[in-house]
Amino acid sequence: MNIECTVNGRSVSLAGEPMDRLLDLLRWQLSLTGTKEGCGEGECGACTVLMDGAPVVSCLVPLMQCAGRSIETVEGVAMGPQREFLERFVALGGVQCGACTPGVVVTACALLRSNPKPTREEAARALAGNLCRCTGYEGILRAVCDEEPRP
Amino acid sequence: MTAALSPRSLAEALRWFGDEPSSKLVAGCTDLMVADTLRRSEMPRVIDLLSVPGLADVHDTGAFLEMGATATFAALGQNAVIRQCFPALSDAARAVGGWQIQARATIGGNIANASPAGDSPPVLLALDATVVAASTAGEREIPYDQFHVAYRKTALRPGELVRAVRLPWPVPGSRQAFRKVGTRAAQAISKIAVAMSVRIEAGRIVEARIGAGSVAATPIRLRAAETAAIANAVSEALATAVGKAAASEVRPIDDVRSTAEYRSFALERVARRLVLELGGLS
Protein backbone atom coordinates (compact mmCIF):
# COMPACT_ATOMS: atom_id res chain seq x y z
CA MET A 1 0.00 0.00 0.00
CA ASN A 2 0.99 3.64 -0.49
CA ILE A 3 0.21 6.29 2.08
CA GLU A 4 0.77 10.02 2.34
CA CYS A 5 1.93 11.60 5.57
CA THR A 6 4.07 14.49 6.81
CA VAL A 7 7.58 13.82 8.07
CA ASN A 8 9.46 16.72 9.64
CA GLY A 9 7.08 19.16 7.99
CA ARG A 10 7.39 17.76 4.45
CA SER A 11 4.74 15.75 2.64
CA VAL A 12 6.05 12.31 1.78
CA SER A 13 4.72 9.11 0.32
CA LEU A 14 5.59 5.78 1.93
CA ALA A 15 5.16 2.37 0.32
CA GLY A 16 5.10 -1.06 1.89
CA GLU A 17 3.00 -3.74 3.50
CA PRO A 18 0.28 -2.38 5.85
CA MET A 19 1.94 -3.81 8.95
CA ASP A 20 5.49 -2.72 8.08
CA ARG A 21 7.13 -0.80 10.91
CA LEU A 22 7.35 2.98 10.75
CA LEU A 23 10.90 2.58 12.12
CA ASP A 24 12.06 0.70 9.01
CA LEU A 25 10.29 3.05 6.61
CA LEU A 26 11.93 6.10 8.17
CA ARG A 27 15.37 4.53 8.04
CA TRP A 28 15.29 2.76 4.68
CA GLN A 29 12.85 4.75 2.55
CA LEU A 30 13.56 8.22 3.86
CA SER A 31 17.17 7.65 5.01
CA LEU A 32 16.32 9.24 8.35
CA THR A 33 18.77 7.05 10.23
CA GLY A 34 18.79 9.20 13.35
CA THR A 35 15.97 6.99 14.63
CA LYS A 36 17.63 3.87 16.04
CA GLU A 37 16.31 0.39 16.65
CA GLY A 38 17.00 -0.78 20.19
CA CYS A 39 14.92 -3.67 21.44
CA GLY A 40 12.35 -3.76 18.63
CA GLU A 41 9.58 -4.55 21.06
CA GLY A 42 8.56 -1.26 22.62
CA GLU A 43 10.56 -1.59 25.83
CA CYS A 44 13.53 0.73 25.39
CA GLY A 45 12.32 3.91 23.68
CA ALA A 46 15.38 4.29 21.41
CA CYS A 47 13.17 4.53 18.30
CA THR A 48 10.85 7.21 19.74
CA VAL A 49 9.37 9.67 17.24
CA LEU A 50 6.50 12.13 17.58
CA MET A 51 3.17 11.30 15.98
CA ASP A 52 0.85 14.32 15.93
CA GLY A 53 3.01 15.67 18.75
CA ALA A 54 2.89 12.62 21.05
CA PRO A 55 5.92 10.38 21.55
CA VAL A 56 5.45 6.86 20.20
CA VAL A 57 7.85 3.98 19.65
CA SER A 58 8.20 3.68 15.89
CA CYS A 59 8.95 -0.07 16.11
CA LEU A 60 5.31 -0.62 17.12
CA VAL A 61 3.61 1.71 14.63
CA PRO A 62 2.39 0.04 11.42
CA LEU A 63 2.50 1.87 8.09
CA MET A 64 -1.29 1.71 7.68
CA GLN A 65 -1.79 3.91 10.75
CA CYS A 66 0.53 6.65 9.47
CA ALA A 67 -1.78 7.88 6.70
CA GLY A 68 -2.44 11.59 7.11
CA ARG A 69 -0.43 11.80 10.31
CA SER A 70 2.38 14.21 11.15
CA ILE A 71 5.61 12.47 12.13
CA GLU A 72 8.67 14.18 13.62
CA THR A 73 11.97 12.38 13.97
CA VAL A 74 15.07 13.40 15.89
CA GLU A 75 16.33 15.12 12.73
CA GLY A 76 13.27 17.37 12.69
CA VAL A 77 13.17 17.94 16.42
CA ALA A 78 16.87 18.86 16.49
CA MET A 79 16.27 21.65 13.95
CA GLY A 80 13.42 23.07 16.01
CA PRO A 81 13.39 25.64 18.77
CA GLN A 82 14.97 23.33 21.36
CA ARG A 83 18.53 24.24 20.35
CA GLU A 84 19.43 25.52 23.81
CA PHE A 85 18.26 22.30 25.40
CA LEU A 86 20.43 20.26 23.02
CA GLU A 87 23.49 22.35 23.89
CA ARG A 88 22.82 21.87 27.61
CA PHE A 89 22.24 18.17 27.00
CA VAL A 90 25.71 17.77 25.49
CA ALA A 91 27.45 20.11 27.95
CA LEU A 92 25.94 18.44 31.02
CA GLY A 93 26.81 14.87 30.06
CA GLY A 94 23.42 13.73 28.78
CA VAL A 95 25.20 11.62 26.17
CA GLN A 96 27.52 8.73 26.85
CA CYS A 97 27.35 5.72 24.51
CA GLY A 98 24.62 7.40 22.45
CA ALA A 99 22.34 4.42 21.84
CA CYS A 100 19.40 5.95 23.70
CA THR A 101 20.16 9.55 22.74
CA PRO A 102 17.85 10.11 19.74
CA GLY A 103 14.87 8.69 21.64
CA VAL A 104 15.68 10.65 24.79
CA VAL A 105 16.01 13.88 22.80
CA VAL A 106 12.66 13.35 21.06
CA THR A 107 10.79 12.57 24.29
CA ALA A 108 12.47 15.43 26.14
CA CYS A 109 11.60 17.91 23.39
CA ALA A 110 7.96 16.74 23.47
CA LEU A 111 7.92 17.41 27.21
CA LEU A 112 9.58 20.81 26.90
CA ARG A 113 7.05 21.95 24.30
CA SER A 114 4.16 21.48 26.70
CA ASN A 115 6.09 22.12 29.90
CA PRO A 116 9.13 24.38 29.41
CA LYS A 117 10.20 24.21 33.09
CA PRO A 118 9.54 20.65 34.24
CA THR A 119 10.35 19.47 37.75
CA ARG A 120 12.66 16.50 38.28
CA GLU A 121 9.65 14.33 38.95
CA GLU A 122 7.84 15.43 35.79
CA ALA A 123 10.97 14.92 33.71
CA ALA A 124 11.66 11.49 35.19
CA ARG A 125 8.06 10.47 34.58
CA ALA A 126 8.14 11.64 30.96
CA LEU A 127 11.41 9.81 30.32
CA ALA A 128 10.43 6.57 32.08
CA GLY A 129 9.95 4.91 28.68
CA ASN A 130 13.48 5.75 27.50
CA LEU A 131 16.05 3.38 28.91
CA CYS A 132 19.57 4.76 29.40
CA ARG A 133 22.10 2.34 30.85
CA CYS A 134 25.10 4.72 30.94
CA THR A 135 24.35 8.06 32.49
CA GLY A 136 22.24 7.19 35.49
CA TYR A 137 19.99 9.91 34.02
CA GLU A 138 21.75 12.62 36.04
CA GLY A 139 23.03 14.63 33.06
CA ILE A 140 19.82 14.01 31.14
CA LEU A 141 17.59 15.29 33.94
CA ARG A 142 19.83 18.29 34.65
CA ALA A 143 19.61 19.31 31.01
CA VAL A 144 15.84 18.78 30.77
CA CYS A 145 15.20 20.68 34.01
CA ASP A 146 17.72 23.40 33.10
CA GLU A 147 19.70 23.00 36.31
CA GLU A 148 23.18 24.31 37.04
CA PRO A 149 26.05 22.00 36.08
CA ARG A 150 27.35 19.84 38.88
CA PRO A 151 30.15 21.73 40.72
CA MET B 1 -0.08 -9.69 1.15
CA THR B 2 -2.21 -8.02 3.77
CA ALA B 3 -5.50 -6.29 3.03
CA ALA B 4 -5.63 -3.12 5.12
CA LEU B 5 -9.05 -1.76 5.98
CA SER B 6 -9.68 1.60 7.62
CA PRO B 7 -13.41 1.79 8.38
CA ARG B 8 -14.97 5.26 8.43
CA SER B 9 -17.78 4.28 10.82
CA LEU B 10 -18.55 1.68 13.45
CA ALA B 11 -21.18 0.17 11.16
CA GLU B 12 -18.57 -0.27 8.43
CA ALA B 13 -16.11 -1.86 10.87
CA LEU B 14 -18.79 -4.29 12.11
CA ARG B 15 -19.83 -5.18 8.57
CA TRP B 16 -16.27 -5.88 7.46
CA PHE B 17 -15.51 -7.83 10.61
CA GLY B 18 -18.78 -9.77 10.28
CA ASP B 19 -17.95 -10.66 6.67
CA GLU B 20 -14.59 -12.09 7.75
CA PRO B 21 -14.44 -12.83 11.51
CA SER B 22 -10.86 -14.08 11.16
CA SER B 23 -9.76 -10.51 10.35
CA LYS B 24 -7.26 -9.05 12.77
CA LEU B 25 -8.63 -6.01 14.61
CA VAL B 26 -5.94 -3.50 15.53
CA ALA B 27 -5.81 -0.33 17.62
CA GLY B 28 -2.66 0.84 19.43
CA CYS B 29 -0.68 -2.21 18.20
CA THR B 30 1.54 -2.12 21.30
CA ASP B 31 1.17 -5.85 21.88
CA LEU B 32 0.38 -7.08 18.39
CA MET B 33 3.48 -5.55 16.79
CA VAL B 34 5.64 -7.25 19.42
CA ALA B 35 3.99 -10.65 19.54
CA ASP B 36 3.63 -11.06 15.83
CA THR B 37 6.93 -9.64 14.65
CA LEU B 38 7.62 -12.63 12.46
CA ARG B 39 4.05 -13.10 11.25
CA ARG B 40 3.08 -9.49 10.60
CA SER B 41 3.30 -9.80 6.85
CA GLU B 42 1.20 -12.96 6.90
CA MET B 43 -1.92 -11.35 8.37
CA PRO B 44 -4.44 -11.64 5.53
CA ARG B 45 -6.84 -8.92 6.62
CA VAL B 46 -6.37 -6.13 9.14
CA ILE B 47 -9.12 -3.74 10.31
CA ASP B 48 -7.86 -0.55 11.96
CA LEU B 49 -10.24 0.56 14.70
CA LEU B 50 -8.33 3.82 15.25
CA SER B 51 -9.95 5.08 12.06
CA VAL B 52 -13.48 4.75 13.49
CA PRO B 53 -14.71 8.22 14.52
CA GLY B 54 -15.97 8.55 18.08
CA LEU B 55 -14.72 5.15 19.23
CA ALA B 56 -12.28 6.80 21.66
CA ASP B 57 -14.93 8.97 23.36
CA VAL B 58 -15.17 8.99 27.14
CA HIS B 59 -18.51 10.27 28.44
CA ASP B 60 -21.12 10.17 31.16
CA THR B 61 -24.23 8.20 30.15
CA GLY B 62 -25.99 9.04 33.41
CA ALA B 63 -25.71 5.69 35.15
CA PHE B 64 -22.20 4.95 33.85
CA LEU B 65 -18.93 6.37 32.74
CA GLU B 66 -18.54 4.97 29.24
CA MET B 67 -15.07 4.63 27.76
CA GLY B 68 -14.86 3.94 24.04
CA ALA B 69 -12.69 0.97 23.09
CA THR B 70 -9.92 3.02 21.49
CA ALA B 71 -9.54 5.50 24.36
CA THR B 72 -5.81 5.49 25.11
CA PHE B 73 -4.28 5.13 28.54
CA ALA B 74 -2.85 8.63 28.07
CA ALA B 75 -6.38 9.99 27.61
CA LEU B 76 -7.72 7.98 30.57
CA GLY B 77 -4.77 8.93 32.80
CA GLN B 78 -5.27 12.63 32.06
CA ASN B 79 -9.06 12.59 32.39
CA ALA B 80 -10.09 14.75 35.37
CA VAL B 81 -13.37 12.90 35.98
CA ILE B 82 -11.58 9.55 36.05
CA ARG B 83 -8.93 11.00 38.37
CA GLN B 84 -11.63 12.11 40.76
CA CYS B 85 -14.16 9.29 40.60
CA PHE B 86 -12.03 6.28 39.61
CA PRO B 87 -8.54 6.89 41.04
CA ALA B 88 -7.67 3.19 40.78
CA LEU B 89 -8.18 3.33 37.02
CA SER B 90 -6.30 6.60 36.75
CA ASP B 91 -3.35 5.08 38.62
CA ALA B 92 -3.42 1.94 36.47
CA ALA B 93 -3.54 4.00 33.26
CA ARG B 94 -0.43 5.89 34.36
CA ALA B 95 1.32 2.62 35.27
CA VAL B 96 1.01 1.09 31.79
CA GLY B 97 4.39 1.12 30.01
CA GLY B 98 5.79 4.63 29.64
CA TRP B 99 4.58 7.79 27.87
CA GLN B 100 5.09 6.23 24.42
CA ILE B 101 3.02 3.15 25.24
CA GLN B 102 0.30 5.15 27.00
CA ALA B 103 -0.02 7.38 23.93
CA ARG B 104 -0.98 4.37 21.80
CA ALA B 105 -2.31 1.53 23.96
CA THR B 106 -6.09 1.39 24.37
CA ILE B 107 -8.47 0.12 27.03
CA GLY B 108 -10.31 -2.06 24.49
CA GLY B 109 -7.05 -3.55 23.26
CA ASN B 110 -5.88 -4.24 26.78
CA ILE B 111 -8.92 -6.38 27.55
CA ALA B 112 -9.55 -7.94 24.12
CA ASN B 113 -5.90 -8.97 23.96
CA ALA B 114 -6.72 -10.82 27.19
CA SER B 115 -3.28 -11.15 28.70
CA PRO B 116 -3.46 -12.33 32.32
CA ALA B 117 -0.83 -9.66 33.08
CA GLY B 118 -2.63 -6.55 31.77
CA ASP B 119 -2.82 -3.56 34.11
CA SER B 120 -6.41 -2.44 33.54
CA PRO B 121 -8.23 -5.79 34.03
CA PRO B 122 -7.80 -5.98 37.84
CA VAL B 123 -9.22 -2.46 38.09
CA LEU B 124 -12.16 -3.18 35.81
CA LEU B 125 -12.95 -6.24 37.97
CA ALA B 126 -12.79 -4.24 41.18
CA LEU B 127 -14.95 -1.47 39.72
CA ASP B 128 -17.65 -3.86 38.47
CA ALA B 129 -17.23 -2.92 34.81
CA THR B 130 -19.42 -4.03 31.93
CA VAL B 131 -18.17 -4.62 28.40
CA VAL B 132 -20.35 -3.38 25.57
CA ALA B 133 -19.84 -5.90 22.76
CA ALA B 134 -20.98 -4.97 19.26
CA SER B 135 -21.58 -6.93 16.08
CA THR B 136 -23.82 -6.59 13.03
CA ALA B 137 -26.49 -8.31 15.15
CA GLY B 138 -26.46 -5.38 17.58
CA GLU B 139 -25.01 -4.73 21.01
CA ARG B 140 -24.98 -6.78 24.20
CA GLU B 141 -23.53 -6.21 27.64
CA ILE B 142 -21.07 -8.66 29.17
CA PRO B 143 -20.34 -8.30 32.91
CA TYR B 144 -16.57 -7.91 32.99
CA ASP B 145 -16.16 -10.68 35.56
CA GLN B 146 -17.52 -13.05 32.88
CA PHE B 147 -15.42 -11.64 30.03
CA HIS B 148 -12.20 -13.64 30.48
CA VAL B 149 -13.21 -17.28 30.12
CA ALA B 150 -9.83 -19.04 29.80
CA TYR B 151 -6.20 -18.22 29.07
CA ARG B 152 -6.30 -15.54 26.35
CA LYS B 153 -9.94 -16.41 25.58
CA THR B 154 -12.80 -13.96 25.95
CA ALA B 155 -16.57 -14.22 25.87
CA LEU B 156 -16.65 -12.34 22.54
CA ARG B 157 -18.34 -14.25 19.73
CA PRO B 158 -16.98 -14.42 16.17
CA GLY B 159 -17.54 -11.06 14.49
CA GLU B 160 -18.06 -9.31 17.82
CA LEU B 161 -15.78 -6.56 19.10
CA VAL B 162 -15.38 -4.47 22.24
CA ARG B 163 -17.21 -1.21 21.53
CA ALA B 164 -16.92 0.30 25.01
CA VAL B 165 -16.34 -0.37 28.69
CA ARG B 166 -18.79 1.00 31.28
CA LEU B 167 -18.13 1.75 34.92
CA PRO B 168 -20.96 2.37 37.40
CA TRP B 169 -20.43 5.64 39.31
CA PRO B 170 -19.03 5.08 42.79
CA VAL B 171 -21.54 5.15 45.66
CA PRO B 172 -20.95 7.19 48.82
CA GLY B 173 -18.59 5.50 51.27
CA SER B 174 -16.74 3.56 48.57
CA ARG B 175 -12.98 3.72 48.17
CA GLN B 176 -10.64 2.14 45.69
CA ALA B 177 -6.94 1.58 45.05
CA PHE B 178 -4.61 -0.08 42.56
CA ARG B 179 -1.18 -1.51 43.18
CA LYS B 180 1.26 -3.02 40.71
CA VAL B 181 4.41 -4.91 41.60
CA GLY B 182 7.02 -4.99 38.84
CA THR B 183 10.76 -4.82 38.31
CA ARG B 184 10.56 -1.05 37.97
CA ALA B 185 7.81 1.56 38.03
CA ALA B 186 7.54 2.04 34.26
CA GLN B 187 7.90 -0.27 31.26
CA ALA B 188 7.63 -3.44 33.33
CA ILE B 189 5.02 -6.13 32.82
CA SER B 190 3.51 -6.84 36.23
CA LYS B 191 4.70 -9.59 38.53
CA ILE B 192 1.31 -9.07 40.14
CA ALA B 193 -1.31 -6.33 40.05
CA VAL B 194 -4.19 -5.87 42.47
CA ALA B 195 -7.16 -3.51 42.56
CA MET B 196 -9.54 -3.22 45.46
CA SER B 197 -12.84 -1.43 45.88
CA VAL B 198 -14.61 -1.42 49.23
CA ARG B 199 -17.62 0.34 50.70
CA ILE B 200 -17.30 1.09 54.37
CA GLU B 201 -20.22 1.99 56.64
CA ALA B 202 -19.62 2.82 60.30
CA GLY B 203 -16.17 1.24 60.21
CA ARG B 204 -17.45 -2.01 58.70
CA ILE B 205 -16.76 -3.27 55.15
CA VAL B 206 -20.17 -3.83 53.61
CA GLU B 207 -19.08 -4.41 50.02
CA ALA B 208 -15.75 -5.52 48.53
CA ARG B 209 -14.46 -6.37 45.08
CA ILE B 210 -10.86 -7.40 44.53
CA GLY B 211 -9.35 -7.97 41.08
CA ALA B 212 -5.91 -9.44 40.46
CA GLY B 213 -3.62 -9.95 37.50
CA SER B 214 -0.68 -12.30 36.84
CA VAL B 215 -1.82 -14.77 39.51
CA ALA B 216 -3.93 -17.07 37.31
CA ALA B 217 -4.53 -17.92 33.65
CA THR B 218 -6.88 -14.94 33.40
CA PRO B 219 -7.43 -11.75 35.38
CA ILE B 220 -9.59 -12.89 38.31
CA ARG B 221 -11.83 -11.72 41.13
CA LEU B 222 -10.52 -12.86 44.51
CA ARG B 223 -13.85 -14.11 45.88
CA ALA B 224 -12.51 -15.78 49.03
CA ALA B 225 -10.67 -12.61 50.01
CA GLU B 226 -13.80 -10.55 49.32
CA THR B 227 -15.87 -12.89 51.50
CA ALA B 228 -13.27 -12.62 54.26
CA ALA B 229 -13.56 -8.84 54.14
CA ILE B 230 -17.32 -8.36 53.98
CA ALA B 231 -19.33 -7.67 57.16
CA ASN B 232 -16.21 -7.15 59.23
CA ALA B 233 -14.75 -4.10 60.93
CA VAL B 234 -11.46 -2.89 59.50
CA SER B 235 -8.56 -4.00 61.67
CA GLU B 236 -5.01 -5.33 61.42
CA ALA B 237 -6.36 -8.83 61.98
CA LEU B 238 -8.94 -8.45 59.22
CA ALA B 239 -6.33 -7.15 56.78
CA THR B 240 -4.13 -10.15 57.54
CA ALA B 241 -7.05 -12.54 57.04
CA VAL B 242 -7.93 -10.95 53.69
CA GLY B 243 -4.29 -11.23 52.57
CA LYS B 244 -4.13 -14.89 53.55
CA ALA B 245 -7.44 -15.67 51.83
CA ALA B 246 -6.15 -13.97 48.66
CA ALA B 247 -2.92 -15.93 48.63
CA SER B 248 -4.67 -19.23 49.29
CA GLU B 249 -7.19 -18.92 46.46
CA VAL B 250 -4.74 -18.35 43.59
CA ARG B 251 -2.43 -20.75 41.77
CA PRO B 252 0.21 -18.53 40.16
CA ILE B 253 2.99 -19.91 37.98
CA ASP B 254 6.74 -19.53 37.64
CA ASP B 255 7.72 -17.59 34.52
CA VAL B 256 10.37 -15.15 33.28
CA ARG B 257 9.01 -12.30 35.39
CA SER B 258 8.58 -13.98 38.76
CA THR B 259 7.96 -17.18 40.68
CA ALA B 260 4.75 -18.70 41.96
CA GLU B 261 6.10 -18.44 45.50
CA TYR B 262 6.92 -14.74 45.23
CA ARG B 263 3.60 -13.95 43.57
CA SER B 264 1.62 -15.59 46.40
CA PHE B 265 3.74 -13.82 48.98
CA ALA B 266 3.44 -10.42 47.28
CA LEU B 267 -0.31 -10.84 46.72
CA GLU B 268 -0.85 -11.57 50.42
CA ARG B 269 1.12 -8.49 51.46
CA VAL B 270 -0.39 -6.15 48.88
CA ALA B 271 -3.97 -7.26 49.64
CA ARG B 272 -3.28 -6.77 53.35
CA ARG B 273 -1.86 -3.30 52.80
CA LEU B 274 -4.76 -2.22 50.58
CA VAL B 275 -7.29 -3.21 53.26
CA LEU B 276 -5.38 -1.11 55.79
CA GLU B 277 -5.06 1.84 53.42
CA LEU B 278 -8.68 1.84 52.30
CA GLY B 279 -9.79 1.29 55.90
CA GLY B 280 -7.82 4.33 57.00
CA LEU B 281 -5.46 2.35 59.26
CA SER B 282 -2.22 3.26 57.49
Q: In the prediction, which pLDDT does B37 show?
A: 56
How many angstroms separate the Cα of B263 from the Cα of each of B93, B123, B124, B145, B251? Answer: 22, 18, 21, 22, 9
Q: Which of B37, B103, B186 sits opposite A56 (nearest CB)?
A: B103
Q: Which of A19, A48, A130 sits opposite B40 (nearest CB)?
A: A19
Q: In the prediction, which pLDDT does B282 show?
A: 80
User: B78 — phi, psi (to 5°)?
Assistant: -95, -10
Q: Which of B3, B43, B101 sits opposite A42 (nearest CB)?
A: B101
How much of chain B, in percent, has pLDDT values that exceed 70? 98
Q: What is the mean pLDDT of chain B?
A: 94
Indicate yes or no: CB of A60 within 8 angstroms of CB of B34: yes
Tell me the nearest-neighbour CA distance from A125 into chain B, angstroms: 8
Tell me the nearest-neighbour CA distance from A113 into chain B, angstroms: 15
Q: Answer yes or no: is the ipTM higher than 0.85.
A: yes
Q: Which of B4, B34, B50 sits opposite A42 (nearest CB)?
A: B34
Do A67 and A6 meet the contact criterion of CB atoms below 8 Å apart?
no
List B residues 203-232 in contact with A (Cβ-Cβ < 8 A).
none
Q: How many CB pairs below 8 Å do chains A and B form together? A: 88
Q: Position B251: which residue type?
A: R
Do B213 and B219 meet the contact criterion of CB atoms below 8 Å apart?
yes
Please choose, from the candidates B64, B127, B72, B131, the residue with its C-alpha nearest in 3D space to the C-alpha of residue B102. Answer: B72
pLDDT at B38 over 80: no
Report the residue of chain A nearest B39, measured CA to CA.
A19
Confidence of residue B10 (pLDDT cuts 50, 70, 90): very high
Confidence of residue B34 (pLDDT cuts 50, 70, 90): confident
Q: Does any CB of chain A come closer than 8 Å to the CB of residue B100?
A: yes
Report the residue of chain B nearest A1, measured CA to CA.
B4
Tell me the nearest-neighbour CA distance from B245 into chain A, angstroms: 35
Task: Note the pTM of the prediction, 2 decimals.
Answer: 0.95
Residues with Cβ within 8 Å of B84's Cβ and at least 6 positions away in sequence, in order, are none
What residues pair up with B3 in beta bridges, in sequence order? B45
Confidence of residue B183 (pLDDT cuts 50, 70, 90): confident
Do B115 and B136 meet the contact criterion of CB atoms below 8 Å apart?
no
pLDDT at B273 over 70: yes
pLDDT at B56 over 90: yes
pLDDT at B166 over 70: yes
Lowest mean pLDDT across B7-11, B14-18, B229-233, B255-259 = B255-259
pLDDT at B19 over 70: yes
pLDDT at A82 over 90: no
Kind of pairing between the strands at B45-48 and B24-26 = parallel
Tens digits of per-residue pLDDT, B143-155? 999 999 999 999 9
Burial bucket for residue B88 (CB in 10 Å: 0-12, 13-18, 19+):
buried
What residues pair up with B148 in beta bridges, in sequence order? B154
Confidence of residue B35 (pLDDT cuts 50, 70, 90): low
Report the residue of chain A nearest B186, measured CA to CA.
A128
Q: In the prediction, which pLDDT does A120 show?
A: 96
Give the whole-angstrom CA distance, residue A93 versus residue A113.
22
Tens digits of per-residue pLDDT, A24-71? 999 999 999 999 999 999 999 999 999 999 999 999 999 999 999 999
Residues with Cβ within 8 Å of B5's Cβ and at least 6 positions away in sequence, in order, are B16, B23, B45, B46, B47, B48
Tens digits of per-residue pLDDT, B67-112? 999 999 999 999 999 999 999 999 999 999 999 999 999 999 999 9
Tell me the nearest-neighbour CA distance from B72 into chain A, angstroms: 12
pLDDT, mean of residues B186-200: 91
Q: Does any CB of chain A come closer than 8 Å to the CB of residue B58?
A: no
Tell me the nearest-neighbour CA distance from B5 into chain A, angstroms: 9
Tens digits of per-residue pLDDT, A94-150? 999 999 999 999 999 999 999 999 999 999 999 999 999 999 999 999 999 999 877
- Residues from chain A contacting residue B3 (CB–CB below 8 Å): 18
pLDDT at B185 over 80: no
Best probe of the A interface among B40, B100, B101, B115, by most A CBs < 10 A, is: B100
Q: In the prediction, which pLDDT does B144 show?
A: 98
Q: Which of A18, A40, A55 sits opposite B2 (nearest CB)?
A: A18
Lowest mean pLDDT across A60-69, B68-77, B204-213, B255-264 = B255-264
User: What DSSP string describes B220-242?
Assistant: EE-HHHHHHHTTSB--HHHHHHH
Q: Find the helix or strand (DSSP H, E) in which A132 lies.
A: none
pLDDT at A10 over 80: yes
